[in-house]
Structures are given as structure tokens and as C-alpha cells.
Amino acid sequence: MAAPKPRSTRSTSLCDSLESEKLEGTTSWDALEWTKVEPVTRTVCHANLDILLEAERVVLEGYGVVLVNIDEAGTLIVTNYRILFLSEGTRDIIALGTIPLATIEKFSKKVAKIQSALRHTDKSQSQRLLQVIGKDMRIIVFGFRPRTKQRRAVYDALVKCIKPTRIWDIYAFVSGPSKYSNTNPKVRLLNEYFRLLGRSSYCASMEMIEDGSYRISNELWRITDVNSTYSLCQSYPFALIIPKSISDQEVLHGSSFRARCRLPVISWCDPGTGAVLARSSQPLVGLMMNMRSNADEKLVAALCTQLTDQGVARRKLYIVDARPRKNALANGAMGGGSESSSNYFQSEIVFFGIDNIHAMRESFARLRDYLDTHGTTSSDGMSSFLRHGGWTWGGGNLSSMSASVSTLGDSGWLIHVQSVLAGSAWIAARIALESASVLVHCSDGWDRTTQLVALANLLLDPYYRTFSGFQALVEKDWLAFGHPFSDRVGMPMLSGTGDITYELSRQSSSGNFPSPPMRQASGSFPSQAPSASHGQNDYSPIFLQWVDCVSQLLRMYPCAFEFSSTFLVDFLDCVLSCRFGNFLCNSEKERQQCGVFEACGCLWKYLADLRSSQDRSHAHYNLFYDPSKHNEPLRPPAAALAPTLWPQFHLRWACPSEAQEGELDAQFRDMTVKFLELKKAKEVAEKKSRETTIAVELLTEQLQNERQLRSTAMNLAMKASKESAAVKRAIEALGCKVQFGSTGDCAVGIEGNPTESQMTGSDGSLQHAGKSDFSVSVTVTDDVSNNPIGRACEALCPLRTREGGCRWPDAGCAQLGSQFVGLRANFDAFDQLSIYDSYFQSE
């Protein structure tokens, strides 16, 4: 795959200077000087690089283009990803005129002659128009100046960019995975299988897939790798859930009896009752409906297995054919058909009568035309009375109003939505209320079957109504089981050589896209020949219709879904834009061949990053979600299954003001945002309060320690005072004079009859004084044991005997170290002091 070009790379455009092309005083359609503008080729300005996405490059720019829907003049930019329309004055992006290239269903050139209302003249002006019809319900028209060849340049650029020559030139491949890379979808599929089998303790990985160790089972069902190389069925996933009693060899035999080898497999199983929801394609019973397959009948019968206290039993089986009965019989002439209840024990066949993809496509187109005609931003710029302040409905009277309303019903879209809703509710009720198993199929088993099975899953399992569950549901039943997104969305598909299998048709100056050839059957069932009215156009809004059904359930059960309607709209926009690779190609096998998982960004990661940017205040979160209120299957009654237009999607382009959330919802969201802000502020305040409390407790502990130290110091001071008094009394009792200084020094004077006296100097040495009386002054230091004064004191002590003993042994005078007089006194001895006569006897 070629490396993407830098974002600054541009091709030549029609104009380069915005100032030279600004309109004089107005941006109105009729104020343009259509006949006086000559074509000019200039280089592209580089003023709008900030609006481009990563790897998005400008192909062409045109100035002075008018968006007819809203009479807005501006700049039209064609890039390799989308059409951008910028306002002439503010250079802001106009959302209505900005559309991804992959979202465009078709485009065509038109010429219209419209009277100029502002000039008040009878002269009609020829307007060069380019109509762009989107898959997202919008019809937009751009007006170009005559004789500038701008329209031709834009048209050619769209032809080239919308359908690239190689699938790897699609923007999803050019932009690369960027920061939106994710785990391999095969790993996520296995994790969902493990959850369904009650084996959530297992964690899937690529190593597990490579060595085949994912083949686990429970009491009734097992995961098989019989399709690991897609040799069994090219449109099925690599791993399948089948009955435990069915061998892989029986699976191979049974697959040949189903169209495109899409044999019956399990999509969901009830963890409580063991009932299952299975899916397949139509059986190949033939025109006479007399063809049978023992392997297929055994496989279907195994879906009814039920474990009881008495052993294995059989439960009721419903086989749902989503088609009208007549269509099923018609398919018998081509080798298909439907089952016979006589061949499948304890079964009941039910037909739902849902129309095929061609009817859905035509119904969608009629609904889009209705909204464009009667909306506030109609594509012809004049049919909507609301925009011009008229007082009539569509330019008519009450009859015109009634006729326009009936047009909505004639589109049939809401009827089709109701059919899918009712069928899914019926399936969910059979499983939830009767504990019956249900097998669903249509013709190929990848359109109507997927709609019904996925919606029934959503009703049955509350997990699928969360963000992670919704992702698992879409990846399992839509992507893994081979809904042909490339065909239905109208994007390039991968052929055997890796090239695009079709080219653009430019007949009648139209941008309509012929569809790729019919997908080859992997079984013996031949493809249907398309009718003349449909040609080979396989585009159909099947997935969009299913998301519409989800929005209807969200409207009926606002507390049951974690996500909001805004999330569904953004999700659909991402799917239709093909900005990410998740929904490219027609099957898991094709996406693997193209290397989509490694080369493209992941839509789910992108949406998750959007939500994480604002926590639960993001618009994707449903503020009314209450998981405890709807923790069981949803069983909507038939009377509640009356669908309405989905305002956020159907009306956002035709009636933008009416498409916004209701006033109460908006106020509630604002109040919730404020509540979350207050809650966050409360948490911050509580955190500071906890920190302050901890600091106060620490200071209190320190204060208590200080008090204890103070008490200890006071006790020591009292003890020292007591010691001083006791020593003083003891020494004075010996006839000595004791003086304690404020510095802690102690002076002891001893009186006697020696002929000379000794005094201590400042350095602690003994000094002799020439006096008759013997007087000694001793200064006691901290280290008495090494102090010569201490030794002198010991030598001159009057209580010492000549033998070195002590006349006062209880005082412990010989143990020096007291901080007062060089001795450590025994205070208890002082308290018990008694005067012995021998103390004062002369030697």
C-alpha cells in the first residue's frame, strides 16, 4: 500500500485568492454575475490546513459556489475523503454541504432556468447545478457560474475520487490506523463466544487462534474450527458455535444443503433455559420441495436439545422464514425454498413477509424525496413554504397538506421498520416465554436474517444494550456472519485479483454507480437473476434500517440503553463515511485478505475516545439509563411497535431545528452536566476535607507528644531540684558550703586547718592560695571521670579513709557522674539518711 502523501500536498484548483472572488455585498443566489465571470485557473491557497483530517489532501477547490438548499455562497473543496463547503464570509464549515465521498449515493449535472426574484426582471438565468444525493437522507444542490467549467472540474474530481481504481486508495487505507488501532476482531468474537457459553474466565488471544486452542464447550454447545480456513463457507466467521452432539464431519455434510453453505449455527443461547437463537440460509429443497438432507435435519434437531432431571429432552422449535410465502415458493424454482415441518420433528414454520433489498432501497428513496420536498432546506431552493415564510403547505391548500402527509405513508419505510420490529419481538417472546429454540433464515441469510437475529439479541440480552455489548453484537451478527457491506453500502469490493470489479458509468451525465457482480455461491444454490427494474444494483440501506429499529426501541425503553440516539447517529455516519476499515468488504475473509485490521483505523476505538473525553456527560451517554430497571428481556407488546420518524437522523438535514433533542431532554442534559460538575466539585472538596482532617490529626498527635515531653521535662526538673536539695543538705551536713550557679556549675567549699589552700582556675587546674585556712573550690564539668577537678574532689573528700574506703557508703560517692558534684547520688539513700557516729569520728 502506497504511503499517504503529506497533508500540505495539493493539486491545482480553479482559484487561489478568496478576496478576489468575494461577492459584492451579498451571498444570495441571484446576486451573482453569472454571465460576467470568466474561467480562471490559479493555485490553491493554504489557509485551511487546520480543517483537514490526517492524510486528507485537497484535490480541487472552487470559489463562488452556491449551496442552493440554503442560498449560501462559499468555497467548495473536494478532498480524497469528502466534499467540504466553507462559508464565503466566515470560512466556517457548512455541515449541510459537507459530505464524505463514500456517503454519496449518486450525483448528476443539471441545468435549470429560474426567475430572478431579487432583480425584478423577466429575464431567466441559466444555472449550472450539481445534485448530490447522500445515503444519509440528504439531497444537496450546488450552483456554479456559467462558462467557468467549475462544475465539469468538480464532477470529474468526484468521479475519480468516489470510486478509486484500487480498494487500497480508499481513505481508510490512506489514513492508516493512526491512534485508533484496536485488537483483532477475531479475538473479540471469541471473547463473545466464551461469554455466551458461560466461559468468561477464558481470555482469547492471537496465540489461541493460531494454535486452535479456542475449541471449548459447555454441556450443550461447542466452538468448532471447521471453518478456520473459510473452506466450509466463505461468508461465515472462522469459528462457529454448534451443538456439542454434532461432529465436524456432519457439519460438512449438512452445509451443502443450505444456500451458499450457510448452515444452521447458534447466534445466542439462553444461559438459564438453554434455548438458542440460530441462523442460516434457505434450504435447497427444489421446485417440488422434496429434497432432504439427513445431516441438516440432525443438526436442526440438535438445536432443540434440552437437559432435564430425567435426562435429555426435546424442546419446541420455530423455523422463521423472513420472506413472504410466495417469494419462498418462487425461490423453489431456482433450487431454494423453505422447510417442511414434517421433516423437522416438533417444529413450526412461520413466514414474516418482509420484503427484499430492492423494496427497501426504493422505499428509502421515496422517504428521502418526501423529506427533501417538504423540509425547510429543500434542494430546489423554493418548494418549501417554511423557508420563505409562506402560509400554505407546499404551495397548496389543506388538500395539498393531506396529500403530502399521505406521501410519507406511501414511502412504506415505517411499515418495513414495523415489520422488522414485530418479527424480532415475536422471536424474543418465543425464547423468553416458551423456552423454545428459533431458527431464522431468508434467502441468503445475510440481510433480513441478520436484522431479525441481531434485534432479537438486543431484546433478549441486556448486555447488548450497553456500549461494549452493542459493539459485540454488531461485530458478531453483522460483520462476522458476512453481511455484504460493500454491496449494500455501495463501496468497492475485492475481486480474486485484488482489483475493483467494476468501473464508473458516465451515461447520461450521471454519477450513478453500477453495482458489482452477484457474489458467487459457495454451495450449489444458483444466484438469482436480477429483474430489469433493479439491474444489478445491490445497494440497499439494510443496516441503516436496523439501526432505525434500534432507535425505535430506545424511544420505547429510554431507561434500557446505555447509549443515546446521538450515539446511533454518529455511529451510522462513521459506517457510511468509510473513514474506518471495520465495515469495508463483504466478509471476514475479505477483510483479512485486504489487511483491514492492520492497515485501517478502528471505528469503535474512535467512538470510545470521544466518550472518554467528557466522561458520562458526553452526548453519547443516555442520561436515563438504569440497568436495574431492565435487567431482563424486553417484550414490547404489538400495540407499542408503531414506529415514527427518527428525528435525529431523518430530519437533521431537511428540518434541522426540529431534529434536535427535545427541550426537556436538552434541559435535563444541561442539568445533568451541572450535577456532574457539582458532584466533581464535591469530590474535590471532600478530598481536601479528608486531607485537612489527616493534617489536624497529625498536628494533634504532635501536640500530645509535645505535652508528654513537657511533662517529662517537668518531672526531670523536679527530680533534679530534689537531687540538688538532697545533695546540698548532705554536703552542708558535712560542714561544706555548696553554691549552685545559674549555668549549672557547683562550687563546694571545704574548711580545715591546712597551711595552704588550693583554688581552681578557669581551666579546671588546682591553684594554691597563701592562706592559713584550707579552702577548696571545685568546678564540676560534664565528664567527671576524666576531669582533674573530680579527682581532686575525690582526694580531698573528708569522708574517705586512708585505705580508700568511704565512711558514707550509702551515698555512693565513689560512683562519679553526677551533673552536680561529680557523684551520682542514691536519692532513696538520701531519703533514708541516718547519721552514724562513725562518720564524725577522727581517724
At residue 614's C-alpha, the angle toward residues 610 and 617, to 5°, is 115
Assigned C-alpha cell, 289? 420441495
* C-alpha 837, offset from chain centre: 102
Specify whether 442 is catalytic.
Answer: yes
Contact 286, 273 (CB under 8 A): no
Question: 3-state class of 260 per DSSP?
Answer: helix
CA torsion through residues 736, 737, 739, 745, sign? negative
CA distance 645 to 361: 17
Place of cell 451515461: 507
Place of cell 413466514: 351
How does strand 124-134 pair with strand 139-144? antiparallel
Place of cell 400495540: 639
CA distance 177 to 603: 10
User: Which of 442, 585, 736, 793 does the annotation list as catalytic?
Assistant: 442
CA distance 368 to 377: 13
CA distance 35 to 26: 17
CA distance 579 to 81: 8
Cβ-proximal residues to 256 (8 Å cutoff; 6+ apart), any chain: 293, 523, 524
**Residues composing the chain:** 843
Assigned C-alpha cell, 180? 485508533
At residue 454's C-alpha, the angle toward residues 524 and 430, to 5°, is 95
Q: Give the closest residue to 438 by CA, choosing from 662, 569, 273, 596.
A: 273
CA distance 190 to 208: 10
Assigned C-alpha cell, 631? 435487567
Tell me how far CA of residue 84 lies from CA of 95, 118, 379, 511, in angstroms. Answer: 8, 28, 17, 19
CA distance 756 to 754: 5
CA distance 137 to 279: 31
Q: Give the closest residue to 290 by CA, choosing from 335, 351, 345, 255.
A: 335
Element at 158 (helix H, strand E): helix 150-162
Continuous H helices in 656-779: 656-659, 663-733
For residues 547-570, b (16+ Cβ closer than 10 Å) or e, as one string?
Answer: bbbbbbbbebbbebbbbbbbbbbb
Give the active site residues. 442
